């Protein structure tokens, strides 16, 4: 009796708040519906058609052919693998270095602002500009080879950094990591400053070493931030485009293609809208899977 009355009261309260909730809720939801949900659904449909974008042209339903085409296309597979490698390398590296920098900056009393600004600068500079700079640095006659040969005398012959698949990807990954450290630093710095000091005091009383304090106090306290950064960076890494487009343009011979550069080519140069939609859906699937896995991994409850 009591319970149902409370429920009724609750529902009433909800109903009263209804129109206000909806007014706040609706614009955002409409926006998401129109610019996120609808395009995804439309793309899902497009991926089953030989989609013609032309004026008054009819598209032909071809079932799973686009998916078969993507999965049997060596360049698409290479692009997906390249993207995975890019994500696997840049995400952890950015986070580890970003966290290390945040710890260092959190520990110093002077010049904190100076270092924060310094590490954050790459984040606010334009991707295009820094990618062009990296292209000059890693060119055959670029700064990197000059440094390795003429300054450090480590090698005799220059390395053609951008000319083969893995060395070009290494250059792109270096760019990605360098540009991402600042963002991680800011996120982790905020998290570190929110860790209650009394936890450290308690650890001190228990006689914990610095390493122990890091692993048993700091890390567990910023776990939520780590998950957040991990998921955001993984999504970002799967969407990488500019560094590759500018450093190599997918060259030589499509060896350095990532998913988005290949998708761009298929969409705007080859006008294979259906193929691109299928590739898009596959990547959306991969990103969703990775996100769910990452959330599951980092949020699993400790047994015992």
Partner 1 sequence: MRRKSIIFALLLFMVVAFMGCNNTDEKVTIEFWHNYSAADGQITVLETLIDEFEAQNKNIEVEHVFMEWSALKNSVTLGASTSVLPDVLRGDIAFVPQFQSLNVLLEMSAFSDYATQSAKVLASANSSNLMGTKYYGIAANTNTKILFYNEDILEAASVEVPETLDELWTAVSAVSSDSVIGMVEPWTGIWNVGPYIWSEGGEVLSPDNSTAEGYINSQTVVDVIQTLADLYEAGELAGPSMDPGATGDTDGWASELYAFELDGPWRATSNAAAEINYGAMALPEGSEGSISVLGGENFMQFKNSSEEKQEAAWKFIKFMTDEHAQVEMAKVGQMPVNLAALENDEAITAMPLLPVFQEALLTAKARPVIPEWSQVEDIIATKVAEAITGAKSVQVALNEAAVAIDALLDE
Residue 72 in contact with partner 1, rule: CB under 8 A: no
Q: Which stretch binds partner 1 (CB under 8 A): 5-13, 102-110, 181-189, 242-250?
A: 242-250
Please report, as residue ranges, which positions from 129 to 168 form the binding site for partner 1 (by CB under 8 A). 135, 138-142, 160-163, 168
How many residues make up the chain in this entry?
Answer: 304
Q: Which stretch binds partner 1 (CB under 8 A): 32-40, 84-92, 110-118, 266-274?
A: 266-274
119 or 138: CB nearest partner 1: 138
Task: Give least dist CB 170 to partner 1, A.
Answer: 13
Tell the burial category of 90 from Cβ atoms under 10 Å away from its Cβ (0-12, 13-18, 19+).
Answer: buried
Task: Give least dist CB 163 to partner 1, A.
Answer: 4
Q: Which of 49, 86, 188, 265 binds partner 1 (CB under 8 A)?
A: 265
Contact 63, 48 (CB under 8 A): yes
- Beta carbons within 8 Å of 209's beta carbon, 6+ residues apart: none
Query: Token digits for 178?
Result: 């360098």
57 or 209: CB nearest partner 1: 57
79 or 192: CB nearest partner 1: 79
Residue 209 in contact with partner 1, rule: CB under 8 A: no
Q: Which helix (H) or strand (E) holds 60?
A: strand 60-61
Pick from 148, 178, 145, 175: which is nearest to 160 by CA?
145
Contact 217, 200 (CB under 8 A): yes
Q: Which of 81, 85, 103, 271 binds partner 1 (CB under 8 A)?
A: 271
Residue 65 in contact with partner 1, rule: CB under 8 A: no
- Beta carbons within 8 Å of 158's beta carbon, 6+ residues apart: 140, 141, 145, 148, 149
**Residues 107-126: x/- map of binding to partner 1 (CB under 8 A)?**
--------------------
Residue 33: DSSP 8-state: I
70 or 192: CB nearest partner 1: 70
Q: Which residue pairs, CB below 8 angstroms and at least 24 apart, start in 149-158? A: none
Residue 248 in contact with partner 1, rule: CB under 8 A: yes
Contact 131, 242 (CB under 8 A): yes
Q: Which of 55, 152, 157, 304 binds partner 1 (CB under 8 A)?
A: 55
Q: Which of 143, 252, 287, 298 binds partner 1 (CB under 8 A)?
A: 252
Nearest 5°: CA angle at 234, between 232 and 236? 70
Residue 54 in contact with partner 1, rule: CB under 8 A: yes
Residues that bind partner 1 (CB under 8 A): 53-57, 135, 138-142, 160-163, 168, 247-249, 251-254, 256, 265, 268-271
């Amino acid at each position: 009796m009591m319970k149902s009355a409370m429920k009724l009261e609750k529902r009433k309260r909800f109903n009263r708040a209804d129109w206000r909730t909806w007014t706040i809720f609706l614009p955002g939801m409409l926006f998401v519906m129109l610019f996120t949900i609808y395009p995804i659904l439309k793309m899902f449909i497009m991926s089953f058609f030989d989609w013609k974008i032309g004026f008054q042209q009819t598209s032909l339903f071809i079932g799973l052919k686009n998916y078969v085409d993507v999965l049997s296309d060596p360049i698409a597979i290479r692009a997906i693998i390249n993207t995975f490698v890019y994500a696997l390398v840049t995400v952890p590296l950015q986070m580890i270095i970003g966290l290390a920098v945040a710890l260092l900056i959190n520990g110093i009393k002077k010049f904190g602002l100076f270092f924060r600004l310094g590490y954050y600068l790459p984040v606010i500079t334009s991707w295009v500009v820094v990618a062009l700079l990296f292209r000059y640095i890693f060119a055959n006659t670029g700064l990197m080879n000059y440094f390795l040969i003429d300054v450090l005398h480590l090698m005799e012959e220059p390395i053609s950094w951008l000319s083969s698949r893995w060395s070009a990807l290494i250059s792109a990954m270096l760019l990605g990591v360098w540009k991402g450290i600042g963002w991680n630093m800011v996120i982790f710095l905020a998290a570190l400053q929110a860790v209650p000091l009394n936890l450290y005091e308690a650890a001190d009383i228990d006689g914990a070493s610095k390493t122990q304090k890091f692993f048993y106090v700091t890390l567990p306290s910023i776990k939520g931030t780590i998950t957040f950064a991990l998921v955001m960076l993984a999504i970002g890494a799967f969407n990488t485009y500019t560094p590759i487009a500018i450093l190599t343009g997918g060259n030589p011979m499509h060896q350095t293609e990532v998913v988005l550069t290949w998708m761009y080519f298929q969409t705007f140069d080859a006008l294979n809208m259906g193929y691109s939609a299928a590739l898009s859906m596959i990547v959306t699937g991969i990103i969703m899977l990775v996100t769910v896995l990452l959330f599951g991994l980092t949020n699993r409850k400790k047994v015992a």
